[in-house]
C-alpha cells in the first residue's frame, strides 16, 4: 500500500465543513469519493498500460474491437458502446492507427461509413495489455470479491436510475 498523500481524509474533512455550511453531506461525500476512486483507478490502469503505449480509454477501444464479431466497428458504434463523445473516438482511433493497432476501412455494406478494424499488432497488444490490467485486478484495491460484486450492484442501480440503460 502506498504512503498516504495527506495525514487526514480530505473528503471526510470537506464533509465536516459541508455539514457546517449546508447540512447533510452524505451524498457529497459519496459523489466526491466515487470521483476520487475513478482518478486513482485511471492512474493505476494507465500505469499498467504505459509499457504498451496505451491509455485506458484506448485500451477500451481495442477490447471492444476484439469483442466484435468481425474485429471492426463503425466509429459511431464505438462511441455509443463506450458512451463517449464522437470527438473522443476520433482522437483515440487516430492514436491507435498511428501506433498500427487499428486501421480505418470503408464499410463494404455502406461505403459512407468508416470502420475501425483491429490489426494483428492491435490484437496481440490488447491480449498482452489485458494480462497487465488483470495482474493489478483492474485497480480494485481494498475490496474482496463479495464487496466488489456488491459495489458493482450498487453503482449499477445509480447508472440505471440515471437512464444509462433500460430496465
129 plus 57 within the same structural domain: yes
- Alpha-carbon torsion (140, 167, 58, 66), positive or negative: positive
For 1-60, the pLDDT digits (tens) are 677 788 999 999 999 999 999 999 999 999 999 999 999 999 999 999 999 999 999 999
* Same domain, residue pair 43 and 95: no
Residue 148 counted as domain residue: no
Let me know how many helices (H) and strands (E) the chain has, helices first.
7, 3
The domain containing residue 69 runs over which residues? 53-134
Going by C-alpha positions, the residue among 81, 89, 142 that lies closest to residue 116 is 89
Pair (57, 130) in one structural domain: yes
Same domain, 45 and 72: no
Residue 105 has pLDDT above 80, yes or no: yes
Q: Is the pLDDT score of 111 beyond 90?
A: no
**According to the model, what pLDDT value does residue 2 have?**
72
Same domain, 62 and 130: yes
Lowest mean pLDDT segment, chosen from 106-110, 131-135, 147-151: 106-110
> What is the model's pLDDT at position 1?
63
Q: Which pLDDT value is given to residue 109? A: 86
C-alpha 18/C-alpha 155 separation (Å) is 24
**What does the pLDDT look like over 43-76, one tens digit per residue?**
999 999 999 999 999 999 999 999 999 999 999 9
**Tens digits of per-residue pLDDT, 75-92?**
999 999 999 999 999 999
One domain for residues 57 and 128: yes
The total domain count for the chain is: 2
Go through the chain and tell me how many residues it has.
167
For residue 156, tell me if it sits in a domain. no
% the chain with pLDDT above 70: 99
Distance CA(143)–CA(151), nearest Å, equals 9
- Within a 10 A sphere around the Cβ of 78, how many other Cβ atoms? 25
Amino acid at each position: 500500500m502506498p504512503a498516504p498523500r495527506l495525514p487526514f481524509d480530505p473528503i471526510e474533512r470537506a464533509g465536516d465543513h459541508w455539514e457546517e455550511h449546508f447540512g447533510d453531506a452524505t451524498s457529497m461525500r459519496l459523489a466526491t469519493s466515487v470521483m476520487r476512486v475513478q482518478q486513482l483507478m485511471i492512474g493505476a490502469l494507465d500505469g499498467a498500460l504505459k509499457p504498451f503505449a496505451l491509455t485506458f480509454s484506448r485500451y477500451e477501444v481495442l477490447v471492444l474491437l476484439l469483442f466484435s464479431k468481425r474485429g471492426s466497428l463503425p466509429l459511431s458504434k464505438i462511441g455509443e458502446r463506450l458512451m463517449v463523445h464522437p470527438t473522443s473516438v476520433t482522437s483515440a482511433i487516430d492514436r491507435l492507427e498511428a501506433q498500427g493497432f487499428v486501421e480505418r476501412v470503408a464499410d463494404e455494406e455502406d461505403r459512407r461509413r468508416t470502420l475501425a478494424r483491429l490489426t494483428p499488432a492491435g490484437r496481440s497488444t490488447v491480449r498482452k495489455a489485458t494480462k497487465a490490467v488483470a495482474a493489478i485486478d483492474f485497480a480494485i484495491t481494498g475490496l474482496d470479491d463479495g464487496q466488489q460484486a456488491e459495489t458493482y450492484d450498487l453503482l449499477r442501480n445509480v447508472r440505471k436510475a440515471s437512464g444509462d440503460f433500460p430496465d
